Amino acid sequence: MGAPGPSVGLLERVEASLAVCSPAEARVGRLLLADPRHFAAQPIAEIARRAEVSKPTVVRFCRHIGYRGLTDFRLKLAGVINEGMPYVHRAVTQGDGAAELMVKVIDNSVSALLNLRNQASAGAIERAADAIVAAIRMGRRVEFYGVGNSGIVAQDAQHKFFRLGCNTVAYSDGHMQVMAATMLQPGDVAVIISNSGRMRDLLDTIDVVRRRRATAVAITASGSPLAARADILLAADHREDFDRYSPMVSRMLHLMLIDVLTTAVAVQLGPEIVANLQAIKRNLRVKYTPDDSGR
């Protein structure tokens, strides 16, 4: 095996290697994935004992995945842990109990968010924020499109952006999306949200957006048909099997990207939005304060 790649993919590389390792080496790999922090701190004799292998097998495992030995591997593993990436995606299985389900779901979420932090394109966020800020300042439209779970994310985005003084609406119906996209003009922005990036309705919609010469921003998986059609891609890549389970990790990543984008737009607008936000809070405070009659 060649030299290891970036440390960000170390745990994923270990998991992928299990299928081609010997049974003994695979036991070392599974022990590592079960608790990377503990593996990094234990002496080789303890690792071998817990994996029920010999000490040379532990060293062979480290060499098999591209490192010079246990010491070299531990240095890289410590770097991964210190960067805040102690988790690897672990699939939920039929026999998992509540405790195991809780650990897997939370660990998978943490892992996905940290991967997003390390892999997200700051340049793409900046370009998307610039387009939305320009639309707000020119009084143009910013619309959010999504279907199913992604439709809920689109509604959340609309709720966040209208408070910034944005002329915005969210659509989750395919027919409404095409009709709304047909009304867009240059300077408008459409944000299309999809887990798989393969939904026919959304692909039809982004085609209309492009023909109308509005800016098409896609929040979806890299390499998907939707990503290929977008002017700006905010990639949300993960290892969740969206064909088998309700998309939990992807929805969380999409919401996080919306939060980042909202914050980037708010920072650019600066003092322009302070008065509006203060007025919103003041009116809500009055709404929920009892009047003199005690009602």
> CATH number for the domain including 63?
1.10.10.10
Is residue 114, in this structure, part of any structural domain at all? no
| 127 and 51 co-located in one domain | no
- Name the domain boundary from 65, 88, 111: 88
Contact 238, 117 (CB under 8 A): no
| 271 and 179 co-located in one domain | yes
Is residue 95, in this structure, part of any structural domain at all? no
Q: What residues pair up with 217 in beta bridges, in sequence order?
A: 191, 232
Contact 56, 24 (CB under 8 A): no
Angle subtended at Cα 18 by Cα 241 and Cα 75, rounded to the nearest 5 degrees: 105
Quote the number of domains for the chain: 2
| 163 and 266 co-located in one domain | yes
| 11 and 53 co-located in one domain | yes
Is residue 78, in this structure, part of any structural domain at all? yes
- Residue 242, classified by CB atoms within 10 Å of its CB into exposed (0-12), middle (13-18) or buried (19+), is middle
Is residue 187, in this structure, part of any structural domain at all? yes
- Name the domain boundary from 43, 66, 88: 88
Question: CATH code at 247?
Answer: 3.40.50.10490
Q: Strands, DSSP E only, in 110-214?
A: 141-146, 167-171, 189-193
User: Of 130, 137, 121, whose CA–CA distance to 219 is shortest?
Assistant: 121
| 197 and 147 co-located in one domain | yes
| 269 and 128 co-located in one domain | yes
| 43 and 149 co-located in one domain | no
| 147 and 69 co-located in one domain | no
Is residue 96, in this structure, part of any structural domain at all? no
Q: What residues pair up with 146 in beta bridges, in sequence order?
A: 193
Secondary structure (H, E, C), 107-126 = HHHHHHHHHHHHHCCHHHHH
Stated length of the chain: 295
Instruction: For residue 124, give both structure tokens.
Output: 């793409």
Q: What residues contact 79, with CB distance under 8 A and at least 6 apart? A: 7
| 130 and 259 co-located in one domain | yes
Contact 215, 200 (CB under 8 A): no
Q: Which residue has the tokens 């009055």?
A: 286
Which structural domain range is residue 143 located in?
121-282
pLDDT tens per residue across all 295 residues of the chain: 444 443 336 777 788 788 888 999 999 999 998 888 888 888 999 999 999 999 999 999 988 887 888 888 888 787 767 655 444 556 667 777 888 778 778 877 887 887 788 778 889 999 999 999 999 999 999 999 999 989 999 999 999 999 898 999 999 999 999 999 999 999 999 999 999 899 999 999 999 999 999 999 999 988 899 999 999 999 988 766 555 555 678 899 999 999 999 999 999 998 877 777 778 888 888 877 766 555 5
| 68 and 203 co-located in one domain | no
Q: What residues contact 137, with CB distance under 8 A and at least 6 apart? A: none
| 159 and 231 co-located in one domain | yes
How far apart are alpha carbons 32 and 282 in whole angstroms? Answer: 54
pLDDT of residue 294: 54
Is residue 130, in this structure, part of any structural domain at all? yes
* The pTM of the whole model exceeds 0.75: no
Instruction: For residue 91, give both structure tokens.
Output: 């699939």
Is residue 140, in this structure, part of any structural domain at all? yes
